[in-house]
């Protein structure tokens, strides 16, 4: 996929409503704001969290979608969910489940590949910057 304004705007809509947009201000300094339809053309980039820094709290939110066994310990759920997210190509989840998980990852403000564009390529295109820990 090419680095076009149209593709960039389509990508930004994945984070609609979130306070992750670095918005260009015409008369003042740029500021962080929500991704929305009014300013989507004025967004410089999205400031997202790297998936490698996902918190245990966020892993538990994602795990709710997976319906892990209730008998599993919280630490086991966290470990298995993190392994699943970081080794995406090795998962055997149904496509519908995986898309729900990816939607949740984005909803929580994490960077994720999109339409074949890796996180590294999104950075190279200038679409995102990763937050420092």
pLDDT of residue 127: 96
Beta strands 31-33 and 128-130 are unpaired
pLDDT of residue 65: 87
Mean pLDDT across 41-67: 91
The DSSP secondary-structure symbol of 26 reads S
pLDDT of residue 3: 94
Would you state the torsion angle of the CA atoms of residues 47, 56, 106, 23, taken in this order, to the nearest 10 degrees? -20
- pLDDT 10s digits, 85-125: 887 655 666 666 788 899 999 999 999 999 999 999 999 99
């Amino acid at each position: 996929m090419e680095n076009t304004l149209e593709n960039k705007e389509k990508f930004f809509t994945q984070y609609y409503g979130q306070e992750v947009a670095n918005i260009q201000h015409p008369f003042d300094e740029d500021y962080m704001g929500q991704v929305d339809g009014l300013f989507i053309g004025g967004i410089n980039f999205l400031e997202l969290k790297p998936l490698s820094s996902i918190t245990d709290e966020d892993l538990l939110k994602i795990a709710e979608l997976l319906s892990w066994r209730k008998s599993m310990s919280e630490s086991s759920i966290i470990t298995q969910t993190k392994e699943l997210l970081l080794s995406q190509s090795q998962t055997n989840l149904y496509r519908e489940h995986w898309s729900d998980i990816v939607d949740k990852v984005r909803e929580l403000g994490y960077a994720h590949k999109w339409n074949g564009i890796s996180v590294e390529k999104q950075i190279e295109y200038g679409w995102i910057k990763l937050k420092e820990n």
